[in-house]
Chains A and B, each alone.
Chain A
Amino acid sequence: NAGVTQTPKFRVLKTGQSMTLLCAQDMNHEYMYWYRQDPGMGLRLIHYSVGEGTTAKGEVPDGYNVSRLKKQNFLLGLESAAPSQTSVYFCASSWILGTHQTYEQYFGPGTRLTVT
């Protein structure tokens, strides 16, 4: 049981380049999330998904797109990277909030992205 995995672990992009971050979970969770974490600002929600084929915007969605084609995978795309998107990106998953007597989110190890 690997939990939540993220690829890649590190990436350096030049301004204007594009990339996709992959998140996979093997816990059969319905909900999946993408966060970014910047020093002094905590985790901020970018996009989330409440099920296969559905996505929704979080607190800071601009410049990012997501897709949830399979229940176990959640992809985060940057179409035209900007230096302001330099951050650590975390994926998380959870049961439907309140079910299974749990509300906790399970996080992946993170992807450190630098945009130059």
Chain B
Amino acid sequence: SQKIEQNSEALNIQEGKTATLTCNYTNYSPAYLQWYRQDPGRGPVFLLLIRENEKEKRKERLKVTFDTTLKQSLFHITASQPADSATYLCALPENKLSFGAGTTVTVRA
């Protein structure tokens, strides 16, 4: 069955730096991949979708890449701000949608 792995360690970065999160998957060839943001005590909120034929997608300070050969997506937060502190989840379309466990990002002022 499919397995989705995200950075197991929490990420602590200084304000203004770039945070890079990794999502790796196995036993699957998804047509697209999604990224969600989850704040403590809240439900996930959709951020970005990238399709298998797209190498890169941007939204404001967010950038997502999708390498179907490596079976990996990278999620970048550029010029990070304390307000970016949250847990970020990647999700792939299997059994409707399968989610990774998430990576918690803390941005220090």
Q: Which residues does B use to contact A, with CB under 8 Å?
A: 4, 32, 34, 41-46, 49, 89, 93, 95-102
Contacts and interface: CB of A to CB of B under 8 A. Distances in A.
Contacts of B95: 45, 58-59
Contacts of B42: 109-110
A42 B44 contact: no
A84 to B, nearest CB: 18
B43 A107 contact: yes
Contacts of B99: 35, 42-44
Contact of A104 (B34, B96, B100, B102): B34
Contact of A90 (B4, B43, B93): B43
B101 A103 contact: no
Query: How would you classify the secondary structure of chain A's contact residues: helix, strand, loop or mixed?
Result: strand
A40 B101 contact: yes
10 contacts: A31-B96, A33-B96, A45-B95, A45-B98, A59-B98, A103-B34, A103-B93, A105-B46, A107-B45, A110-B42
A105 B43 CA distance: 11
A41 B96 contact: no
Which of A4, A33, A103, A106: most chain B CB closer than 10 A? A103
A49 to B, nearest CB: 10
